[in-house]
Structure 1
Amino acid sequence: MAISESIRAWARRIKRDAVMLWFARRHRDTPFLAKALCVFTVAYALSPIDLIPDFVPVLGYVDDALLLPSLIWLAVRMLPAHVIEQCRAQAEEWMAREKAKPKSYAGAIAIVVIWLGALYLCWWWYQAR
């Protein structure tokens, strides 16, 4: 397998598992802490706005290449095996049917609030000096 094919397969698995976490957060057998991490990860993954915008050199892709896969890996590790199996099947079915990446406007709002909070803290720190 060529390296480009390997990267594409990895990206498809990441996308599938992000959607799988959306279904896992509603599954009755998912532990509470795992549900909370699933909600956070899915909101961030599906948000149309990144925490670090992609146009920022190097750092813009850190969240896409490291942070998001790490969050997904951690959330999947916290889920029971039967929940993973059922929710992956649901995610694959949903992705085949919809043929589009879902979007989370709640996630986008959360990212905007984080940026506004960071800007406010910078302003407050500057004013306090």
Structure 2
Amino acid sequence: MNRLKLIGMNLKRELKVYQRMLRHRRTPRTAKLLLALAVGYALLPFDLIPDFIPLIGQIDDVIIVPALLFVALKMIPKEVIEECRMTAEKEGS
């Protein structure tokens, strides 16, 4: 149960970091678009491949969202990511 709680807290913190990156002026537009698509795809109730299709329906969530996040984070300058993480941690404390 503690592990699940920790995962939830980490997810909440990461969402705050992504939200800050979306608003940061130095985040490239393409990265903002990919980041918004990743968060939106993860949170919206519909998928490109419906979840009721065995195995494939769940795999798309495991592949699409991390891939979008990976590409977006590669485009964002390291300084911006660090700044957003620090401000999110300060706000969370």
TM over 0.5: yes
* Structure 1: tracts of 5 or more residues without a match: 98-129
Distance 1:34 1:64, change over 3 A: same
Match for residue 88 of structure 1? 85
* 1:22–1:42 CA contact under 8 A, matched in 2: no
Count of residues in correspondence between the two structures: 87
Bigger CA radius of gyration: 1
**Given the alignment of the two structures, is residue 63 of structure 1 paired with residue 66 of structure 2, yes or no?**
no
% of aligned pairs identical? 41
CA distance in 2, matches of 1:49, 1:81: 32
Match for residue 31 of structure 1? 28
Structure possessing the higher relative contact order (Cα contacts under 8 Å, 6 or more residues apart): 2
Q: 1:51 aligns with which of 41, 48, 54?
A: 48
Per the TM alignment, residue 20 of structure 1 is displaced from its structure 2 partner at its CA by 2.6
Secondary structure of the equivalent of 2:23? coil
CA distance in 2, matches of 1:45, 1:93: 26
* 1:21–1:38 CA contact under 8 A, matched in 2: yes
